């Protein structure tokens, strides 16, 4: 199949998926009991007040009409106004997105480092106790989800040996000179390493909790792939040239073994991003997921819709990119 | 004094099954020794033992492998690797799998020179270009920058030959270097290897199934059966009058040397039975002491 | 001799896998017993508050009160008794939600993978859409819609997690459907539903069982997460997630309120998943 055709088909299915998400989230949250308007007004507000505000937010119209208005707005980049904060949903969501992105990417990097190290060590000492220990650790890390790892980390590094912060994104008393919400990134650009260190000290545990299960997956897949690669002819040939085991693994095997693993990491990365919702809650990290839970609790319908759509866009986008990358990197698929 | 001298080398699966049974053979400097035997006889195993690439499931139980007088089996692993890398090289069987798909050709020829032998990059690059013209590859500069999948099987085998000769090794192990190639290319590659061997004066351990090739390239010959050397002789003597019944049958099985019309003859069962009895007797002796 | 060694090596692998299965199964069995007999086992009333006995430490620490083995929470409720009663909720959710999810997801996956065509089209698109939702947020949303309570949690888990079964079973059914024995069954005159149930289902059953075990572990976690964000059962009822949520806020004053339910939850999730992995090894023809 030619590349353009694959691209077209994938774009189409992505569009269908996003439309499906939009429909489901819109109608599901409208079944939520509890009138959001009544919740935001002070007690003692009259029926009239409620009706007036409902009309203001368009909540008095039939559901189908509301959906049409919302979708028309979304198409123009208008996601409506948050009921609790009365700010445009788009601004709120985009304001929180950098925090979640930074957390996810930090977690991804940690997972790759940890998983890569486990796989390389396991391959280097394959067949021995070290590999056995790594397998057991991987199995454990994989069996227990990020939420529980987060709690374990809080106990270990927040209480037992309090080296990291267990809540928030940054120490509130600090004076932040940032113009964007990509704090971690900007602190580096501005060479404010003091702020960077504070940000990392907050981000470390939530990122690690998200990273542990993914690290285990990377560790397992990459180790398996490496071990298979180590039996190939070109690796054997490199040994006869005088290279030692470690250098053979790093020079000859790693790059070829990494490609199949990378494509799987792409899909797993969306699961990691999904995990930020509860992990951000657990660590009171001011990202998208934490805002989402608040939005549900406050029945802030436009905000919930906006966040869910944004997550769906991120997920499908990551999957799309990974699929296309795979097609590009694999010449056989491109021409076949 | 031979450059490579294998003495009583026994190798077995760690689970116990013997694969090589007290193998002895010598390759003098500049000499070509053929290694023949049916599939599974252990020909490649000998090459792997010499080059220090026996699979982890396999262990050496006795014997020595003297490379330029030093027993490789007694050297610590790091020194052994260095010594083999400096003195010996491998021309592998399948050129399609023996090049790393994610590295360019250039570094795959020069890596040993730079990383192990400490050449400067410029010298190594010049050497690679020189080698590519020697193995008759047109446009060496383009080829050095290519990836393996952009080249044909014959080209890749030429590159592997160039790479094997890069460090001027004193010994090359060629493990059926032409079986994976087109028939038309096989002859050219064989000629190339023979020519390079003569010019560089490299000792060559040549693993093959093909007695025709042996007659053209080799001076000495070892015939292997079930990991046992049944005949060790000069090529001239072998074709004149093989001493062992098994080698005689092997020779008879190769049509060109008897009656071209007869086609490939199977080795007679009686001969197989006799040589298997020899192997069994050997194992009994080994078991008793 | 060679033979003997080979068998030795394999039995070692099996013994280790066996140990894992055995340990997980024992923990889960113990938990089932505890859940069944909770009212008799629990030393105290899990709901009884006593503000004078708030934040008592576990028995080995100074200041501990006899009878409160694992200490008390800020309202003076016995931690051990709450864990024991929490097992009821956890296991109920695991068993009920896991089974229903499995039935629905596996059926849809089987239909999609075996029938192909428009059935597969629709089910696959639905799976795509479901995969585009962040699962935790989705479950929180559903609980907000359905209102808190055990039934809501079970429904939420089923609605969200059926895709786990459908995806895998669909792929397996497709692979099985392409095999010769299925074609020959058809030739031999078996109808489509017959082929699906008699030929395909038995071959994907091991996978389904493994997935079911894993799903039970996931269900326990989902319940804990929902309790943690205060959306599970009513906040008084003892659930592990609810206890963890409370313990998280007072972790510096009374670590035991967090640690004991956390350890229980951790072991339970680990046991479900190790049980699944152990079963997978058992079913794997290579290892068997
Ligand atoms: N990695 C391995 N593990 C176990 N046994 C092996 C391994 N490699 C080779 N063997 C066994 O060792 C014996 C000798 O193998 P070897 O590869 O040396 O044969 P060969 O003479 O080179 O045969 P061919 O002509 O097919 O290449 C065979 O019986 C083979 O089954
Ligand atoms: Mg061979």
Q: Do C134 and A277 touch (CB under 8 A)?
A: yes
Nearest CA to ligand 1 atom 2: B55
C26 located within any domain: yes
Instruction: Say if residues B127 and B119 touch (Cβ distance below 8 Å).
Output: yes
**What residues does B144 pair with on adjacent strands?**
none
Instruction: Say if residues B136 and B182 touch (Cβ distance below 8 Å).
Output: no
Domain count, chain C: 1
Question: Of A323, A305, A327, which is closest to residue A315 (Cα–Cα)?
Answer: A323
Percent of chain C at pLDDT above 70? 89
Torsion of CA A102, A103, A107, A113, to 10 degrees: 40
Residues whose beta carbon lies within 6 Å of some atom of ligand 1: B 13, 19, 37, 39-45, 55, 57-58
Residue C3 Cα, gap to closest chain B Cα (Å): 8
- Report residue A212 as tokens: 């542990």
What is the C-alpha to C-alpha distance for residues B138 and B234, in angstroms, rounded to an integer? 37
Question: Of A47, A77, A72, which is closest to residue A60 (Cα–Cα)?
Answer: A47
Nearest CA to ligand 1 atom 14: B42
CATH number at residue C119: 1.10.3720.10
Does residue A230 register a pLDDT over 80? yes
Query: Which of B41, B47, B55 for a ligand 1 pocket mutation test, highest count of atoms within 8 Å of Cβ?
Result: B41
Does residue A333 register a pLDDT over 50? no
Enter the ipTM. Answer: 0.90
**What residues does B174 pair with on adjacent strands?**
B91, B206
Is the CB of residue C15 less than 8 Å away from at least one CB of chain A? no
- Report residue A75 as tokens: 């198409």
**What residues does B58 pair with on adjacent strands?**
B13
CA B176 to ligand 1 center in whole angstroms: 13
Percent of chain B at pLDDT above 90? 70
C145 located within any domain: yes
Query: For residue B136, what are the contacts with CB-CB under 8 A and spacing of at least 6?
Result: B158, B192
| Mean pLDDT across B99-104 | 90
| Mean pLDDT across B96-117 | 93
pLDDT band, residue C6 (cuts 50/70/90) = very low
Q: Which of C137, C252, C265 sits opposite A148 (nearest CB)?
A: C265
Report H helices in B201-268. 211-217, 235-240, 245-253
For the stretch C119-169, pLDDT in tens is 999 999 999 999 999 999 999 988 888 888 889 899 999 999 999 999 999
SS3 for C88? helix
Q: Among the ranges A35-39, A92-96, C81-85, which has the highest mean pLDDT value?
A: A92-96
For the stretch A287-318, pLDDT in tens is 999 999 999 888 888 899 999 999 999 999 99
SS3 for A45? coil
Does residue A332 register a pLDDT over 50? no
Q: Do C132 and A147 touch (CB under 8 A)?
A: no
Query: For residue C121, what are the contacts with CB-CB under 8 A and spacing of at least 6?
Result: none
Report H helices in A76-192. 89-124, 129-143, 146-153, 183-189
Is the CB of residue B57 less than 8 Å away from at least one CB of chain C? no
For the stretch C19-31, pLDDT in tens is 888 899 999 999 9
A vs C, Cβ pairs < 8 A, gives: 128
pLDDT, greater one: C95 or B288: C95
C6 located within any domain: no
Q: Do B16 and C1 touch (CB under 8 A)?
A: yes
DSSP C271: H
Torsion sign, CA atoms C150, C156, C159, C160:
negative
- Report residue A52 as tokens: 């007036």
Length of chain C: 288
Residue from B12, B14, B16, B18 whose CB has the most chain C CBs within 10 Å, to mutate:
B16
Q: Do C133 and A142 touch (CB under 8 A)?
A: no
For the stretch B164-203, pLDDT in tens is 999 999 999 999 998 888 888 899 999 999 999 999 999 9
Please give the residue range of the domain that contains residue C109. Answer: 20-283
Lowest mean pLDDT among A167-181, B10-24, B154-168: A167-181
Q: Which of B78, B93, B160 sits opposite A244 (nearest CB)?
A: B78
Specify the pLDDT at position A46: 77
Comparing alpha-carbon positions, the chain B residue that sits nearest to C6 is B15
**What residues does B62 pair with on adjacent strands?**
B10
C4 located within any domain: no
* Region for residue A175 given its phi and psi (left: phi exceeds 0; alpha: psi -120 to 50; beta: otherwise): beta
Q: Do B81 and A238 touch (CB under 8 A)?
A: no
Nearest CA to ligand 1 atom 16: B42
- List the 198-237 stretch of C: residues with Cβ below 8 A of A: 217-218, 221, 224-225, 228-229
- Report residue A186 as tokens: 């900007």
Name the pairing type of β-strands B220-225 and B228-234. Answer: antiparallel
C270 located within any domain: yes
Q: Which residues of B touch C10 (CB under 8 A)?
A: none
C10 located within any domain: no
C11 located within any domain: no
Instruction: Quote the mean pLDDT of chain B.
Output: 90
- Report residue B32 as tokens: 């070509």
Q: Do A252 and B90 touch (CB under 8 A)?
A: no
């Amino acid at each position: 199949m030619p590349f353009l055709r694959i691209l077209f088909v994938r774009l189409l299915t992505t569009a269908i998926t996003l439309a499906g998400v939009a429909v489901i989230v819109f109608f599901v949250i409208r079944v939520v009991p509890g009138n959001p308007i009544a919740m935001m007004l002070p007690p003692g507000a009259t029926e009239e007040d409620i009706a007036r505000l409902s009309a203001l937010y368009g909540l008095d119209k039939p559901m189908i009409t509301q959906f049409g208005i919302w979708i028309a707005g979304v198409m123009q980049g208008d996601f409506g106004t948050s009921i609790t904060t009365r700010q445009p949903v788009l601004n709120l969501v985009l304001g929180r997105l950098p925090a979640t992105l930074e957390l996810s990417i930090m977690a991804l990097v940690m997972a790759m480092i940890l998983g890569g190290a486990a796989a390389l060590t396991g391959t280097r000492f394959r067949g021995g106790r070290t590999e056995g220990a790594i397998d057991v650790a991987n199995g454990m890390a994989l069996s227990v989800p990020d939420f529980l790892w987060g709690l374990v980390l809080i106990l270990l590094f927040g209480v037992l040996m309090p080296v990291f912060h267990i809540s928030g994104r940054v120490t509130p008393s600090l004076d932040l000179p940032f113009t964007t919400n990509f704090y971690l990134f900007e602190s580096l650009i501005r060479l404010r390493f003091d702020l960077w260190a504070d940000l990392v000290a907050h981000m470390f545990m939530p990122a690690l909790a998200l990273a542990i299960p993914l690290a285990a997956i990377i560790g397992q897949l990459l180790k398996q792939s490496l071990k298979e690669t180590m039996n190939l002819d070109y690796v054997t040939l490199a040994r006869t040239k005088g290279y030692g085991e470690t250098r053979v693994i790093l020079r000859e095997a790693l790059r070829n073994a990494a490609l199949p693993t990378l494509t799987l990491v792409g899909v797993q990365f969306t699961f990691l991003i999904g995990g930020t919702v509860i992990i951000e809650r657990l660590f009171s990290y001011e990202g998208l997921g934490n805002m989402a839970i608040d939005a549900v609790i406050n029945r802030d319908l436009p905000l919930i819709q906006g966040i869910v759509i944004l997550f769906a866009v991120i997920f499908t986008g990551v999957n799309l990119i990974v699929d296309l990358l795979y097609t590009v990197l694999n010449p056989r698929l491109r021409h076949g | 004094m031979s450059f490579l001298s294998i003495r009583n080398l026994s190798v077995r699966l760690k689970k116990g099954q013997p694969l090589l049974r007290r193998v002895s053979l010598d390759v003098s400097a500049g000499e070509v020794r053929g290694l023949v035997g049916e599939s599974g006889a252990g020909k490649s195993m000998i090459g792997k033992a010499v080059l220090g690439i026996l699979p982890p499931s396999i262990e050496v139980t006795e014997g020595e492998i003297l490379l330029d007088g030093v027993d490789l089996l007694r050297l610590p692993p790091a020194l052994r690797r260095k010594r083999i890398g400096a003195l010996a090289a491998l021309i592998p069987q399948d050129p399609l799998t023996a090049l790393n798909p994610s590295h360019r050709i250039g570094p795959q020829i020069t890596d040993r020179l730079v990383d192990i032998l400490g050449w400067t990059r410029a010298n190594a690059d010049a050497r690679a270009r020189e080698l590519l013209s020697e193995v008759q590859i047109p446009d060496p500069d383009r080829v050095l920058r290519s990836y393996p999948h952009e080249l044909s099987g014959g080209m890749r085998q030429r590159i592997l030959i160039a790479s094997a000769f890069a460090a001027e090794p004193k010994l090359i192990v060629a493990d059926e270097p032409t079986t994976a190639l087109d028939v038309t290319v096989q002859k050219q590659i064989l000629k190339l290897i023979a020519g390079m061997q003569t010019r560089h004066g490299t000792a060559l351990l040549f693993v093959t199934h093909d007695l025709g090739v042996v007659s053209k390239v080799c001076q000495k010959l070892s015939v292997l059966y079930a990991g046992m050397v049944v005949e060790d002789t000069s090529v001239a003597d072998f074709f004149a009058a093989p001493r062992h019944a098994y080698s005689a049958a092997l020779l008879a099985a190769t049509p060109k040397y008897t009656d071209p019309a007869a086609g490939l003859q199977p080795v007679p069962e009686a001969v197989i039975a006799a040589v298997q009895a020899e192997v069994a007797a050997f194992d009994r002796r080994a078991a008793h002491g | 001799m060679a033979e003997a060694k080979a068998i030795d090596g394999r039995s070692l692998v099996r013994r280790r896998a066996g140990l894992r299965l055995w340990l997980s199964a024992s923990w889960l069995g113990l938990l089932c017993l505890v859940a069944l007999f909770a009212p008799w086992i629990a030393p105290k009333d899990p709901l009884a508050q006593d503000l004078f006995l708030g934040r008592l430490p576990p028995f080995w620490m100074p200041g501990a009160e006899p009878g409160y083995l694992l200490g008390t929470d800020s309202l003076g409720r016995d931690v051990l008794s709450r864990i024991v009663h929490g097992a009821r909720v956890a296991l109920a959710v695991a068993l009920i939600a896991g089974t229903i999810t499995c039935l629905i997801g596996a059926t849809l996956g089987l239909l999609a993978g075996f029938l192909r065509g428009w059935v597969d089209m629709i089910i696959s698109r639905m799976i795509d859409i479901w995969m585009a939702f962040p699962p935790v947020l989705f479950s929180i949303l559903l609980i907000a819609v359905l209102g808190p309570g055990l039934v809501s949690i079970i429904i939420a888990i089923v609605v969200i997690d059926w895709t786990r079964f459908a995806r895998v079973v669909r792929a397996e059914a497709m692979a099985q459907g392409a095999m010769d024995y299925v074609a020959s069954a058809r030739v031999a005159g078996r109808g489509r539903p017959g082929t699906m149930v008699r030929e395909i289902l038995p071959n994907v059953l091991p996978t389904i069982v493994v997935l079911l075990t894993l799903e039970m572990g996931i269900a326990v976690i989902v319940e804990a997460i929902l309790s943690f964000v205060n959306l599970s059962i009513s906040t008084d009822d003892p659930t592990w997630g609810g206890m963890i949520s409370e313990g998280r806020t007072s972790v510096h004053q009374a670590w035991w309120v967090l640690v004991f339910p956390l350890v229980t939850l951790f072991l339970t999730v680990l046991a479900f998943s190790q049980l699944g992995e152990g079963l997978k090894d058992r079913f794997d023809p290579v290892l068997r």
